[in-house]
Structure 1
Amino acid sequence: MSTTRSVTEHVAAVLARVAPLPAEQVGLDLLAAEPPGRALAADVHAVALVPPFDAAAMDGYAVRLADLPADGSPATLPVVGDLRPGSPPDRCERETRPRHAGREGHSPAHNEAGGAVRIMTGAPVPAWADAVVPVERTSTGRFVAGGPTPEREVTLARQDRAHVRHRGEDVRPGDLLGRAGDVVTPALVAVAASGGLAALPMRRRPRVAVLSTGSELVTAGAVAGAGHIPDSNSLLLAALARAAGADVVRLGAVPDDPDALRAALDSVASGAGADLVVTTGGVSAGASDVVRAVVDGDDARLSDVEVAAVALRPGRPQALARWRGVPWLALPGNPVSAFVSFALFVRPAVAVLAGREPARAVRRAAAEAWPSPPGRTHVVPVRTLPSGAVVRATPPGAGSGPGSGHGAAGHATSALLGADGLALVAPDVDKVEVGDEVDVLPLDLPFGAGA
């Protein structure tokens, strides 16, 4: 017997079956090379200063501001050294210190007025210097890559900016770099490396097994005989799961045979080590609905069965279960229903397994009016205009033949091609008017990230 429930209630039932996967330390070198989508399992803090020393922010000359007139008029200083990235800070200090700093080791070019050090971006700034004058603002004009250091003196003037990145001005030990649940981005990998870390605590990528049911299904690209159609649903589920940040095991189509379905479930729940199983088709009340035949049966491998009639259009028939302890979400077989069901129920489950927050709907104004059958949450593929308002997404051939246009968009898979969101129209609404605000679940958010 089916349980009648709202979309919100079914989401809660789905999420009650999943929990974040175990954490592991993953090296930054591996994270930089693997597919995106993994989330931090714990807060991450820096352990080092960024930058670790005062560094030049421009190619130019390191100087002491006291040696330059305060009114900005030019001064000529001897060039007393040449510093490149990678130069040890202590050697920089020892080999470039002018006489006015009060230490030995100065070159013959030093004088009481101080000096200027030729310095490249990223090189340590000597402790006696407090500014870098960009080479473009000096008498030198530009440096020649790989060239010698011909200038013995340089004319320059005080600048508005010091062009020095001071030690620890970006990141200091203990600074929070990322919170548990944050998706690891290239920026986080880079900042973590700069902040002294070699690895991050990560959730394992969920392993999602997908298959479709139906004896009428044939492999995509094969010659389909009478009564047969290509298996697009297992491809759809695999692509959606991958886009949600999961590793995917795709079995393809399984015929309407309960024993064949049980064997397929065994192969992914045990052999493939799936964290979640997702199927399409066979979940309604027809004579060929193989999922219902299995979940209604008595099998020791089956547990926690829930068959639900969700107040949703499209996507009313849904089923939940565990097969050998692995959560199993059974979606309807209509491709648009499967797409909608994945966005509403599967994507949040993948996000939770990965340790991320599920996606949230955002409010958008409707730029056109459309009817909405009351009584169930009506899901409409929509396209966002530059203004931020939404219109219904339509099939590419809308308006070119019988059954075309907006009326066909609700069941036409091709309408999804132009959609970047799903409008969720409340059950008590019978028409969306221009300017009405509707909840829209974005489809282009990576890995189910919250809006």
Structure 2
Amino acid sequence: MTTQNDSSCIAQFDPNAMPVHAAQAIVRQWAVPVTTAERVALRAALNRVLAEDVASPIDVPAHDNSAMDGYAFDGAALSGHASSGDPTPLTLRVAGQALAGHPFEGTAASGECVRIMTGAAMPAGCDTVVPQEFVTRTDGERIRFDPQRFARGANCRLAGEDLAKGQSALRAGRILRASDLGLLASLGIGEVTVRRRVRVAFLSTGDELRSIGEPLPVGCVYDSNRYTLSAMLERLNIETLDLGVIRDEPAALEAALRQAAESADVVLSSGGVSVGEADFTRKMLQTFGDVAFWSMAMRPGRPLAFGRIWSGGRAAVGRPALFFGLPGNPVAVMVTFYQIVREALIAMSGAEPQPPLAFIATSAQPLRKRAGRTEFLRGVATRDADGRWHVAPTRSQSSGVLSSMSEANCFIVLAHDRTDVDAGEAVDIMPFDGLI
């Protein structure tokens, strides 16, 4: 059994197609981060990119406190037992109690302890906590325990142990997650400075495309690419501008691209970059843009244009917009977005792109592969009782079958120089979870 069940498997390789790793390197070079920053409330900062380091304005924790429910006392009482090996239990008188938010007001004297709850401030004169499960309460006022089981300072969290006042809490360039917002709130910080969101304008091209709600004549299809693009951009917290469906007319396409370049940092189009007679994008970009490459050695997604465009033409002053001319096939749009576009958008947001999660699985069946291009097959990964991962391709690998992306839970990544894969061989997989 093979996975190459669509007609594109027999197409000749383009000798001028750029390898995926080389294309990714060029995109990284051209992806300049936005510089504008803004101040936002903490509740509005999720998934925003931090524009400056945040230093802790306080010690965290703010005071020495107990890590356990138990009894706090002066650890000096342990020293005589530890040095002599004396097995006699240590007996202490309970002088009071300390609760979280309700500290013990006095000072524990020698031979005394304070009943203490987790998180409560350590009483004056105390630096050690014996957990309650190691204590025998002899009467209402005294406890005893084996002192050789504990060292001075046990179960005491020191002020500033997590973060000292003035210490860096979060670094600029970090994408703020839920845990980061909790950390900032614990420091009493209610606002942060973040990079402005990257603006992306996107459009679909093709006379055969119809928007949802329109009649569907024979030979036409509903445009799905704008919906998948919109959703993928939203996952990256990108500001979007949907320019709709543009017909295969040079004037309309040029006007749309110029408008997009004027209002956005990045322009994404789907369709219009192949060699078809009605594809005008290549000719237009020669008049008001630069193109780094037109074709990539990958499947799906070979026809992909990358460059930059100026709204007023090449001689215009100002920052151009990056341009990604994605293929028209729905699966190819998603694959090229995740393998090429996504990293550029993260970099432009001011964050440091991290490689997508990938790990090794055993191929459940043979896979046909020719060296000379990177292939991203849709796969279904499962884990056996021994914890080993196995993966099988979806039933269809046609770049026009969008249902295969919903069926799959990962990409099977076959590297540029790899050839056929036998059943039982190891392959790299890239899970959708966290990516899509």
CA distance change for structure 1 residues 369 and 413 in 2, over 3 Å: closer, same or farther?
A: same
Compared with structure 1, are the counterparts of its residues 139 and 388 closer, same or farther at alpha carbon in structure 2 (3 Å cutoff)? closer
Q: Which of these residues, 249, 255, 261, is aligned with residue 257 of structure 1?
A: 249
Question: 1:412, 1:391 → 2: CA distance?
Answer: 19
User: Cα distance 1:208–1:430, how it changes in 2: closer, same or farther (>3 A)?
Assistant: same
Aligned to 1:48: 58
1:356 and 2:352 correspond: yes
Query: Identity over aligned residues, as a percent?
Result: 32
Show the 5 A alignment for 1:29-48: 30-36=41-47, 38-41=48-51, 44-48=54-58
Equivalent AA in structure 1 for residue 360 of structure 2 = R
Counterpart amino acid of residue 14 in structure 1? V
Distance 2:435 2:333 in 1: 19
| Aligned-pair CA distance for 1:333 | 0.3
Distance in 1 between residues matched to 2:186 and 2:399, nearest whole Å: 50
Pick the aligned partner of 1:184 from 176, 179, 184: 176
Aligned: 1:7 with 2:33:
no
Q: Distance in 2 between matches of 1:66 and 1:307?
A: 73
Partner residue of 2:328? 333
Evaluate the alpha carbon distance shift between residue 446 and residue 431 of structure 1 in structure 2; reply closer, same or farther with a 3 A threshold: closer
1:216 to 208, 222, 231: 208
Q: Is the 1:366–1:432 Cα contact (8 Å) retained in structure 2?
A: no
Matched position secondary structure for 1:318: strand
Correspondence 1:96 to 2:106: yes
CA distance in 1, matches of 2:88, 2:44: 49
Alpha-carbon distance in 2 for matches of 1:316, 1:390:
28
CA contact (8 A) 2:46 2:178 kept: no
How far is the alpha carbon of 1:417 from its aligned partner? 1.7
Report the CA distance shift for 1:177/1:283 in structure 2 as closer, same or farther (over 3 A): same
Letter in 1 for 2:414: V
Q: Within 5 A, what are the aligned runs for 1:77-116?
A: 77-80=93-96, 82-87=97-102, 92=104, 95-98=105-108, 100=109, 113-114=111-112, 116=113
The equivalent position to 1:316 in structure 2, one of 299, 302, 326, is 302
Distance 1:173-1:78 versus aligned 2 partners, 3 A rule = closer
Query: What is the 5 A alignment of 1:48-447?
Result: 48-65=58-75, 71=87, 73=89, 75=91, 77-80=93-96, 82-87=97-102, 92=104, 95-98=105-108, 100=109, 113-114=111-112, 116-134=113-131, 153=141, 155=143, 157=145, 160=149, 162-173=154-165, 175-194=167-186, 199-200=191-192, 202-220=194-212, 222-270=214-262, 273-292=263-282, 294-296=284-286, 298=287, 302-306=288-292, 308-320=294-306, 321-324=308-311, 325-354=320-349, 355-360=351-356, 362=358, 364-367=360-363, 368-386=365-383, 387=387, 389-394=389-394, 405-406=395-396, 408=397, 411-446=400-435
Amino acid at match of 1:284: S
Note the C-alpha offset of 1:424: 3.4
- How far apart are residue 277 of structure 1 and its match? 1.2
Equivalent position SS for 1:128: coil
TM-aligned CA distance change 1:420 to 1:42, over 3 Å? farther
Q: Distance between the aligned counterparts of 2:399 and 2:202, measured in 1?
A: 24
Residue 312 of structure 1 aligns to which amino acid in structure 2? M
Q: Contact 1:352 / 1:358 at 8 angstroms: preserved in 2? A: no
Give the Å deviation of 1:340.
Answer: 1.4
Secondary structure at the aligned position of 2:30 is classed as: coil
Which residue of structure 1 lines up, in the alignment, with residue 317 of structure 2? none
Measure the CA separation in 1 of the matches of 2:224 and 2:345. 21
Query: Cα 1:361–1:50, aligned 2, differ >3 Å: closer, same or farther?
Result: closer
Check 1:139–1:250 CA distance in 2 against 1; reply closer, same or farther (3 A cut): farther
Structure 1 residues 207 and 434: CA distance shift in structure 2, 3 A? same
Point out where structure 2 has 5 or more consecutive residues left out of the alignment.
1-14, 82-86, 312-319
| Distance of 2:398 and 2:392 partners within structure 1 | 8
Deviation at 1:293, TM superposition (A): 5.0
Instruction: Report the number of matched residues.
Output: 398
Gaps of 5+ in 1: 102-112, 142-150, 395-404
Tell me how far apart the structure 2 counterparts of residues 135 and 361 of structure 1 sit (CA, whole Å): 44
In terms of mean alpha carbon deviation, does 261-270 or 348-357 score higher? 261-270
CA distance in 1, matches of 2:405, 2:128: 57
1:146 alignment counterpart: none
Whole-angstrom distance in 2 between the partners of 1:220 and 1:72:
82
Q: How far apart in 2 are the matches of 1:72 and 1:282? A: 86
> Is 41-50 or 324-333 further displaced after alignment?
41-50
Cα 1:76–1:126, aligned 2, differ >3 Å: closer, same or farther?
A: closer
CA-atom RMSD in angstroms: 3.5
SS of residue matched to 1:5: coil
**What SS is found at the alignment partner of 2:323?**
strand
CA separation of 1:233 and 1:63: change in aligned 2, threshold 3 A:
same
- The letter for the 2-side match of 1:317 is P
Partners of 1:343 and 1:416 in 2: how far apart?
Answer: 13
Cα shift at 1:378: 2.5
Specify whether residues 428 and 59 from structure 1 end up closer, same or farther in structure 2 by C-alpha distance, changes over 3 A only.
closer
**CA shift at 1:72, angstroms?**
7.0
| Contact 2:45–2:176, Cα closer than 8 Å, also in 1 | no
Structure 1, 308-317 or 246-255: larger mean CA deviation: 246-255
Matches within 5 A, 1:10-29: 10-22=23-35, 24=37, 26=39
